[in-house]
Amino acid sequence: MFLTGDSFSPAMTAGEERMETPGDVAVMLRLAELGWGSKRIAGELGCSRRTVKRYLRQGGWASYRGRGRPSALAGLEGWLAERFRQHRGNADVVRQELAREHGIRVSLRTVERAVADLRRDLLAEARACVRFETPPGRQLQIDFGSTFVEIGAGQVVNGLVKRIADVKLVNVSDTGSLAGALRTLGDRAHSVIAR
């Protein structure tokens, strides 16, 4: 597989290297076996000569290994998680406590990178639905039905309910109005009375 001038990858900026695919590296090795030099291979594949030399020296494709040095925060993952939650996602306060308690002085960005997954978890928890409950007598909760029956001489409740809900209102103040309410409610009244 050879790449033509039209299929070259975009030029990389100075000092930047891109990861070649295993197929590209196989082509590099095959061209080197055929006697091509690193400059010619790099020109053909559209990558830097340094990249070609690195893969030829390795003898094949290898995944990126990282920097090889441990993080300044290695071993403090549990402490970071606890403090990050305690301070409700404030990485700067965590950074200050890190310096005070452990003597580790790092940039704010270092702490932010270390707690990035925790921040996503906190945001998800904040957006999640939370059940809100209060002790009895602290709040009024009404599950509006389709019909309200007020029992008594006045019509105070009916007046209030009329203002906040579009429902059927029935007032029962004596035996005559009770018979009328039962006729109005029909089968629904019989199922309530049967309970």
Answer yes or no: is 11 within a domain. yes
Cα–Cα distance for residue pair 70/92, rounded to 1 Å: 22
Count Cβ neighbours within 10 Å for each residue of 125-136 and write b for 16 or more, e otherwise: eeeeeeeeeeee
Q: How far is CA 89 from CA 133, 176, 183, in A?
A: 25, 65, 61
pLDDT for residue 187: 65
pLDDT per residue over 12-65, tens digit each?
444 445 667 888 889 999 999 999 999 999 999 888 999 899 999 988 887 766
Number of domains within the chain:
3
Answer yes or no: is 14 within a domain. yes
Answer yes or no: is 133 within a domain. no
Residue with tokens 């105070």: 156
Cα–Cα distance for residue pair 70/89, rounded to 1 Å: 24
Q: Is the pLDDT at 192 greater than 60, yes or no?
A: no
Q: Which of 127, 161, 185 is the last residue in one of the domains?
A: 127
**Range of lowest pLDDT (3-17, 32-46, 134-148, 179-193):** 3-17
Range of the domain at 85: 77-127
pLDDT for residue 142: 58
Q: Report the predicted TM-score, pTM, of the whole model to 2 decimal places.
A: 0.37
Answer yes or no: is 190 within a domain. yes
Answer yes or no: is 178 within a domain. yes
Cα–Cα distance for residue pair 141/51, rounded to 1 Å: 69
Query: Tokens at residue 32, please?
Result: 């080197």
Answer yes or no: is 170 within a domain. yes
Residue with tokens 């995944």: 63
pLDDT for residue 180: 81
Beta bridge partners of 170: 149
pLDDT per residue over 66-119, tens digit each?
666 778 888 888 999 999 999 888 999 999 999 999 999 999 999 999 999 888
Cα–Cα distance for residue pair 39/61, rounded to 1 Å: 19
**Range of lowest pLDDT (23-27, 110-114, 121-125, 154-158):** 154-158
Q: Is the pLDDT at 9 greater than 70, yes or no?
A: no
142 or 40: which carries more pLDDT confidence? 40
Domain at 17, CATH number: 1.10.10.60
Q: How far is CA 41 from CA 2, 15, 54, 99, 130, in A?
A: 10, 19, 12, 50, 60
pLDDT for residue 108: 93
Answer yes or no: is 152 within a domain. yes
Which amino acid, residue 111? V
